[in-house]
A and B are shown apart, each in its own frame.
Chain A
């Protein structure tokens, strides 16, 4: 192993002083105060919302643009509109 790596590891992994509040935590076990909330739930929620949006966008078909739907309707006025959608004047 290179001497450079040996020195770098010894330097970067050197021991540190423990924060003073560690004793307080040991005396009063429980969740750490001011602990940053884990983002797992948020990420899952966002992923579910994104998936739902994509599914809704793919599933949504505006009826007005569906020519076949209009042409099959019983209303002759709407059938006329449907024909004009394909056959220009």
Chain B
């Protein structure tokens, strides 16, 4: 089994139904699971939904973990599947409205705040507009700092596919955010 000593014990304890072990495992992975969910969905309520779903699946199916992959990879697969399931279940009526509402909510006390808010909103909107497959590669790369090999393991595809998706995502983001890049260069 590809597990570190303490994690292996935790998984075994979870299989025996020990409540403290579930809590300990939750504490280890909660931020990682929630971060992927939030960065993928762009919405806190949706992220809570996805994270809750992921941990429920994890606890319900931990006895199915065979140990032929790293436990972390297994959890990442669960959260990735929950993200895609959530995306299929819910369709945003007006995706671009999110960016607009964020701008309205953002603090606009000063010009600097306004510019920061615009950059944040633009990046968020550009990431939201990527297809789920491209967005997930971007999230795993930049939120979790996973290597190409690790991303390929999580998504069940080749490293070449990961590289290709990252390349396409970067190009799309570069096009959509080119106006900000020019702004940024001017201010640097």
Spell out A's residues near B (CB within 8 Å): 1-2, 4-5, 8-10, 12-19, 22-23, 25-26, 29, 32, 35-36, 38-40, 43
Contacts and interface: CB of A to CB of B under 8 A. Distances in A.
Task: Name the 5 nearest CB pairs between A and B, nearest first.
Answer: A18-B34, A15-B35, A13-B142, A1-B170, A18-B30
B177 A35 contact: no
A39 B90 CA distance: 12
Contacts of A40: 93
Given A9-B138, A43-B93, A2 B174 contact: yes
A22 B34 contact: yes
B55 interface: yes
Contacts of B90: 38
Q: Most A CB atoms within 10 A — which of B52, B56, B174?
A: B52
B67 to A, nearest CB: 23
6 contacts: A1-B174, A2-B181, A8-B119, A14-B143, A15-B144, A22-B51
Contacts of A38: 90
Contacts of A5: 170, 173-174, 177, 181
A38 to B, nearest CB: 8
A10 B145 CA distance: 9
A38 B55 CA distance: 24
A13 B49 contact: no
Interface in B112-144: 119-120, 123-124, 127, 138-139, 142-144
A25 B30 CA distance: 12
Contacts of A9: 123, 127, 138, 142, 173
Given A13-B127, A16-B31, A35 B45 contact: yes
Majority secondary structure, B binding face: helix
Interface residues of B, number: 38
A13 B126 CA distance: 12
B83 interface: no
Interface string B134-167: 0000110011100000000000000000000000
B26 interface: yes
Given A15-B144, A26-B26, A39 B93 contact: yes
B33 interface: yes
Contacts of B23: 23
Given A2-B174, A5-B177, A8-B177, A29 B123 contact: no
Contacts of A4: 181, 184-185
Q: Most B CB atoms within 10 A — which of A5, A10, A25?
A: A5
A6 B170 CA distance: 9
B48 A25 contact: yes
